[in-house]
Amino acid sequence: MLPKEAIEEFKKLYFKNYKIQLSDEEAVRRANNLVDLYSKVYGGDCGSIKDIDKNKN
């Protein structure tokens, strides 16, 4: 489960890109689906956002 701060950030980014306001429940579902997809594509545990940022370099 993602932390509340991550869900709020996801909601802001979703609104910025699609102009659709998500409920908390919908945001949790969509954000978790995105993390699951990332995990399946890149394999294993995604770790934290800090770990993902480190892998960019």
Q: What is the pLDDT of residues 10-43, one digit of tens each?
A: 999 999 999 999 999 999 999 999 999 999 998 8
What domain count does the chain have? 1
More confident residue, 32 or 1: 32
Segments forming the whole domain that contains residue 18: 4-55
Q: CB 27: neighbour CB atoms within 10 A? A: 21
User: How far are the Cα atoms of 34, 37, 57 from residue 6, in angstroms, in the given order?
Assistant: 12, 16, 22
Please, which pLDDT band fits residue 3 given cuts at 50, 70 and 90? Answer: very high
